[in-house]
Structure 1
Amino acid sequence: MIPLWQGSCNQWDCDEMGHMNVRIYVEKQLEGLVTLAHELGMPEAFRPNAPSTVVPVDQHIRYVREVLPGKPISMQGCVLEIGESDAVIYQEMRHSDGRLAAAFRTRIAHIDTAEGERFPWTAKTRARMEALKGETPEEALPRSFDPEKPGMALKDITLDYAKSIGAPYIGMGAVPPAHCGVHGWMEASWVIGRLSDMVPNLLYDWRQRVGEASADNKRMGAAVLEYRLRYHRLPRVGDRFVAYSSFGGVNGKTHSLVHWLMDPETGRPWATSEAVAITLDLDARKAVAAPPEMMQELEKIAPRGLGI
């Protein structure tokens, strides 16, 4: 593995749960990807006039230990797999004491910046990738997802289908220039970021009722443990998006939700994702098992049926 990034968590990187927001994790992961591109002999990949670049198409994220304000963190990574025009990259974020904070397994595609079409790696880049091949540490392996499991067929991911199963509408928005990279596409960090912004429309009142149902009326929040995201198309400035959610299931103290970020103009997906989360006691910073009746209520609020 090679070093890709080093910095710290700022107060403004954190959300209402008191820890670093999921958007910031991906923001730093993408910054590490820029460093990796330089190491692969593609220093122009993230500059405005680049003929080609790399973009994430499928990503698994595992959050292992909270990152709190003021904490120093660093990132290193390697190459796991090499395809003709894609590759799987491993990146890990660690605390200053060496403990794992988060791990990212990202399938990237090599595309031309004019049309967004995939094309093969150069021999030079492939050789550099081979020199950086490594393995995912045992402690960072996926737990809740098989990142290679095929998702839903693209033709089946439609706005009409989300509405037909009664999936709740959780938010909408439009892409501003500040959320786009140099090639004009919305940055992947803002895909997960905007979903994070919209989830309270689904869960805020439910979390309050979970707290009220506890013996001492705990202050409740949530923490995501794992995320899988599939990026089908990246929107551009001025494009609109809407989001719908569905209950994915419950396993012990964890529950999962599937989110679809959709194009209201075409009814097709921008991105689909699944998040495995815990209900978090905000004062004790510990996971709390929501009562079965509250999970049943959540499934009524967000009926099953959406897939990634």
Structure 2
Amino acid sequence: MQAPFQSTVMTVKPEWIDFNGHLNMAYYGVLFDLGADQMFDHFGFGPDYQTRTGNTTYAAEFHVRYVRELHENDPVVVTYQLVDHDEKRLHSFQELRHADGWLAATGETMTLHVDQSGPRVAPMPQDVLDRVAAVARAHAALHKPDAVHASIGIRRR
């Protein structure tokens, strides 16, 4: 397991470009989600998870910080760092980077494990929780990014 996990290379699509000539803010979320999906496959939350278990994941909170513009056809990767977890929740930090290495955006997410029969937040199955714990151990040695728990506001002098 990579620490942090890194997605495959993805490409900024022409239809994602806004009238300012750069990636529309909504599609940063799409790229973060596609990168997280690759990590979630490792956890066991693959495409058949909901059908097989009746469970799924919901993003309860997502904070994006835009750092540098992306443009049409830019190659990008998404990293995923598991910051914390318990039996029902995942706290993660992601970076969206140009394939050349520079940082375009960060995303911080609180993900809930949900039993669809409620729906209600519910514990992950033990096999999934074991994989999450293994990733947590691998990521424990990583520096906690300064942007984790960042707040938004207007600074007054």
Q: TM-score, normalised by structure 1?
A: 0.44
Alignment check: 8 A CA contact 2:91 2:109 kept: yes
2:151 to 138, 145, 148: 145
- Give the corresponding residue for 1:26: 29
Q: 1:88 to 1:144 in 2, by over 3 A?
A: closer
Retained in 2: the 8 A contact 1:73–1:93? yes
User: Any idea what SS the aligned residue of 2:21 has?
Assistant: coil
Unmatched tracts of structure 1, length 5 or more: 147-248, 253-308
Are the counterparts in 1 of residues 88 and 113 from structure 2 also a CA contact under 8 Å? Answer: yes
**Structure 1 counterpart of 2:22, which letter?**
H
SS at match of 2:38: helix
Q: Residues of 1 paired with 2:126 and 2:50: CA distance? A: 21
Q: Kindly tell me the number of residue pairs found equivalent between the two proteins.
A: 149
Distance change (3 Å), C-alpha of 1:145 and 1:105: same
Larger CA Rg, structure 1 vs 2? 1
Q: Say which of 13, 38, 44 aligns to 2:41.
A: 38
Q: In the superposition, relative to structure 1, how do residues 95 and 34 fare at CA in structure 2: closer, same or farther (>3 Å)?
A: same
Q: Which runs of 5+ in 2 are unaligned?
A: none
2:78 is matched with which residue: 70, 75, 79? 75
* Structure 2 residue matching 1:132: 3-state secondary structure: helix
Residue of structure 2 equivalent to 1:112: 115
Aligned pairs for 1:124-203 within 5 A: 124-133=127-136, 134=139, 135=142, 138=145, 141-142=147-148, 145=151
Whole-angstrom CA distance in 1 between matches of 2:100 and 2:22: 18
Report the CA distance between 1:44 and its aligned residue. 4.1
Amino acid at match of 2:31: K
Letter in 1 for 2:151: F
| CA distance 1:117–1:19, shift in 2 (3 Å) | same
Q: Which residue of 1 aligns with 2:5?
A: 2
Q: Displacement, 1:120?
A: 0.7
Tell me, in whole angstroms, the C-alpha distance in 2 between the residues paired with 1:75 and 1:86.
21
In structure 2, relative to structure 1, the CA distance for the partners of 1:44 and 1:143 (3 Å cut) is: closer
- The higher relative CO (CA closer than 8 Å, separation ≥ 6) is in 2
- Secondary structure at the aligned position of 2:7 is classed as strand
- Deviation beyond 3 Å, 4+ runs, structure 1: 44-50, 135-138, 249-252
Q: C-alpha separation between the residues in 1 aligned to 2:50 and 2:129?
A: 21
Normalising to structure 2: TM-score of the pair?
Answer: 0.80
CA RMSD of aligned residues (A): 2.5
Asked if 2 retains the 8 angstrom alpha-carbon contact of 1:34 and 1:46, the reply is: no
Structure-2 change in CA distance of 1:122 and 1:47 (3 Å) = closer
* Secondary structure of the structure 2 residue equivalent to 1:28: helix
Percent same amino acid among aligned pairs? Answer: 21
